């Protein structure tokens, strides 16, 4: 049986949940959920399918074999109206390329790993 994972791209915060697929199975299926659920990918060892969803739900089987609990993980319309970050999308694409073995020069957001040159700091102080 193929292993599946549900992953969201362009996410800011994500949660990782382990789900046991069958009562008789010893393997777990990872379920990664993002705060931005605009693009979801159902991945198996053989194929990837893109799913566009506004609302998803997950069924979780409890330890007792007869009880099934449904968890509603839908987002409010206001949260769904927030557009995905283009910066995060570019960073996700750069990460995917790097994982595929393509050499990538990262120009991502964040703090630089060096101090601001003195000449630039001086100009900032003059005009601030």
User: What is the pLDDT at residue 56?
Assistant: 53
Stretch 57-83: mean pLDDT: 71
Question: Is the Cα torsion angle 93, 99, 101, 104 positive or negative in sign?
Answer: positive
Helix (H, G, I), strand (E, B) or coil at 93: helix
pLDDT top residue among 68 and 102: 102
Enter the tokens of residue 125.
Answer: 């102080």
Domain ranges of the chain: 5-76, 85-128
| Pairwise CA distance, residues 83 & 37, whole Å | 11
pLDDT digit string, tens, across residues 2-56: 444 444 444 444 444 444 444 544 444 444 444 444 444 444 444 444 444 445 5
Q: Is 60 exceeded by the pLDDT of residue 81?
A: yes
pLDDT digit string, tens, across residues 90-128: 889 989 999 999 988 777 666 566 788 899 999 999 998
Helix (H, G, I), strand (E, B) or coil at 88: helix
User: What is the pLDDT at residue 111?
Assistant: 57
User: What is the pLDDT at residue 126?
Assistant: 93
């Amino acid at each position: 049986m193929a292993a599946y994972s549900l992953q969201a791209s362009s996410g800011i915060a994500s949660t990782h949940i382990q789900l046991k697929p069958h009562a008789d199975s010893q393997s777990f299926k990872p379920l990664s959920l993002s705060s931005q659920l605009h693009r979801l990918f159902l991945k198996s060892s053989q194929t990837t399918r893109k799913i566009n969803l506004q609302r998803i739900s997950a069924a979780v089987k409890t330890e007792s074999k007869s009880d099934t609990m449904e968890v509603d993980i839908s987002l409010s319309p206001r949260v769904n109206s927030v557009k995905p970050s283009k910066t995060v999308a570019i960073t996700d694409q750069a990460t995917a390329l790097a994982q595929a073995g393509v050499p990538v020069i990262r120009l991502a957001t964040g703090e630089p790993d060096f101090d601001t040159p003195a000449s630039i700091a001086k100009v900032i102080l003059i005009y601030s």
